[in-house]
Amino acid sequence: QVQLVESGGGLVQAGGSLRLSCAASGRTFSSYAMGWFRQAAGKERECVAAISARGGFTLYADSVKGRFTISRDNAENTVVLQVNSLKPEDTAVYYCAARGGIVRDMPGEYDYWGQGTQVTVSS
């Protein structure tokens, strides 16, 4: 069982940055692949970034490559999404999620979810 709590969202102007954090409970955090997803109003939830259990592999959605960076600290049970050069279309609720096994990018393949943190980008 893993419990996830996101933080770091907020209102930011276009071009700005935020640091989204996800704190995980449990002693087996290092065995889970982690993903950051987002869901904008009226749209499906999508994966923006994911990282393998040990941090050696990452993947990004094409729309965020070069702007977003995912990282994790297994000693601190945290995963961070650094979001830079934000655009209005990045506005969404951002969720972190965990799954046992290898990295995937489909929401249905993740077992545990946080409550989400709102990111709003003004133009």
55-100: pLDDT as tens digits = 999 999 999 999 999 999 999 999 999 999 999 999 999 999 999 9
**What pLDDT shows up at residue 26?**
79
**What pLDDT shows up at residue 75?**
94
Q: With pLDDT > 90 as the criterion, what percentage of the chain qualifies?
A: 96
- For the chain, list the strands marked E by DSSP: 4-7, 10-13, 18-24, 32-39, 46-51, 58-60, 68-73, 78-83, 92-100, 112-113, 117-122
pLDDT category of residue 1 using cuts at 50, 70 and 90: confident
**What pLDDT shows up at residue 27?**
75
Q: What is the rounded average pLDDT for all residues in the chain?
A: 97
